[in-house]
Chains A and B, each alone.
Chain A
Amino acid sequence: MTRLLLWWLGRMPIGWLQLVSNKLRFFAAGTGVAFACILVFVQLGMMGSFSEATRSAYRILNADVMISASDCNGLTDGSNVARRRMYQALAVPGVREAIPIFVGKTFWLQADGTRLELTVVGFDSTRHSFVGPVLEQISVLPLSNHVLMDERSRGLRPGQLANVSANSPLWIEANHQQLAVAGTFSLGAGFAGDGFMIVSDQTFLRLFPARSSAAPNHILLNVESGSDPEDVAARIAAKLAAEAVLVRSFSQAIEQDVTYQTTRRPVGLIFGFGVAIGTLVGLVIVYQILSTDVADHLSEYATFKAMGYKASFFRSVVMEEAVILAVVGFLPAVVATLGIYSVMAKATGLPIAMTWERAILVLFGTVLSCSLSGIFAMRKLTHADPADLF
């Protein structure tokens, strides 16, 4: 290792030798950095799963443009939209087709006492162009009171829905209605509820008698091929300018929902805060380690300075230490995080997984914060006369 570094750095790997000469401190330092990395990874994982859960709900559907109430912040949020807006929008050039979407909440009390909070999405399931990629078994929905349920809903026993089909549905009761779970899809729970249930618009209105077919939650539109969803959305928005509605392309609606969830909702803010705290803890740990290390070797460094070594040499030694600490802390942190993620995903049903982007982001962040603290720790040396440091 020393030879490798000697060759690579073109100088004596003092930082490395210094770090490994005190094994205990090196171990503590690596553990500290790893700890900070794990902290940041967990927070980023939660935040990522939060965005991912928000985003994945939209995979039930497929559309180019979405019209929602002006107070709407997400799929399950906001006032109703008058169905009349749909007819107005259909008259806008470039719009090919449109359907109303209904969203509601219900509970399913299982025999064993587990209560699932289900988000119910209802729409005309015969309109296949609006059906999202996850709903493969949509053909059963037109049957009265037949539903599809997310097999990864929180609170389900493993494999509980494995064998349901149109021929052997699982009968459940919700909102005083007998419902036949006749098919499944795989989405994963979100923060808003335990899982999703898909029904036809007719079933939805039976489940929620207070809701009217004239007042859906959202309106989905598809544009003519060759039309740009953003352009069409802008045209519809111009036409509906006087109404309290929000017209956005579907992808824009998703991104705004994610942004809202992660930056405006307390949960999202807490994770952001957690990332900041993790980074801060990492900075403090590494700064402590490196500044102690610099202080311990001050007279040795002063000797090097007296020999004619430049400030850049000392910076590169501390950088060397910082990078080594970053790597040494990062690698075990990744391994530990993979374990933590899988435990968290099992326990919560949330889609928590490591991504390359996140791993690289954290690695860069670690190296950067380590280097910053290293350079900070070095200030004392660069400004002093060597003779005062012996």
Chain B
Amino acid sequence: MTPSASQDPIVVTGLNHSFGQGSAKVQTLFDIHVQIKRGKLTTLIGPSGSGKTTLLTLMGCLREIQEGSVRLLGEELFGASNETLNNMRRRLGFIFQAHNLHESLTALQNVRMGLEVHGSAHRHEYDAAATHILEQLGLGDRLHYLPAKLSGGQKQRVAVARALVGNPEIVFADEPTAALDRDTGLKAVGILKRLGELRGTTTVMVTHDHRILEMADRILRMEDGRIVDQT
């Protein structure tokens, strides 16, 4: 391993993954090797069922690693303790296909949850920080709305705000633009790209949106559980 590789925020080597048990066992990822550089926007493309989401969740500490190695921000995830995983998750931001907002919390409160995970030492600043990022995403007039009162695109923007409010070192996004209209989708990706340049935030995103692919620093193409093409 070269010195520069060890500093990369994401280093995946020999990763395999299967779902199911016994005879129903189906392997979905085969011998994945990939390194992702700091501050870059990397996109993951490929046909449905090719294993994009599986790879993303494995890199993002959302699934236990069965075989192979994922080094995230210098820490090995294979066999990592719950404690390590929890601490690691706090340094990441997730934007899911489904927005997964908490239905009983307002937009502001949902975003606040992205800060509260870091403890209560700076809690007095949380509301201001959450308000600020929601305003940036054009939701300044929807702060106290419950998710049920927001449109699909607005909900997704709240989810984006929640993922970004804690200044994550890596952002994982799984087709975040699916529920966003094209302009806000691009706007969100624009923010991510700017964060990459300003703070060195690394982004890995599953997408099929051509305009986003044009902005990407790198495109990984997956097919049948393998990375078949890297640009």
Contact = CB atoms under 8 A, between A and B. Distances in A.
Interface of A: 10-12, 14, 17-18, 20-21, 297, 299-300, 302-311, 385-388, 390
B222 to A, nearest CB: 17
Contact of A306 (B89, B103, B109, B112): B89
A304 B116 CA distance: 11
* Chain B contact residues, majority secondary structure: loop
Contacts of A310: 82, 86
Contact of A14 (B63, B86, B98, B102): B102
B57 to A, nearest CB: 4
Contacts of A11: 116, 120
Contact of B62 (A20, A300, A304, A386): A386
Interface in B87-124: 87-92, 94, 96, 98, 100-105, 109, 112-114, 116-117, 120, 123
B64 interface: yes
Contact of A307 (B82, B94, B104, B105): B94
19 contacts: A10-B120, A12-B112, A17-B104, A299-B98, A300-B101, A303-B94, A306-B62, A306-B89, A307-B90, A307-B114, A308-B87, A308-B92, A309-B86, A309-B117, A385-B62, A387-B57, A387-B62, A390-B96, A390-B98
Contact of A18 (B61, B64, B100, B104): B104
Nearest to B91: A308
A308 B117 contact: yes
B60 A306 contact: yes
A92 B104 CA distance: 77
Per DSSP, chain A at the interface is helix
Contact of A300 (B86, B90, B102, B116): B102
Contacts of A299: 98, 100
Contacts of B146: 21
B103 A21 contact: yes
A20 B146 CA distance: 13
Interface in B46-83: 57, 60-64, 82
Contacts of B60: 306
A244 B147 CA distance: 79
B120 A12 contact: no
A17 B104 CA distance: 6
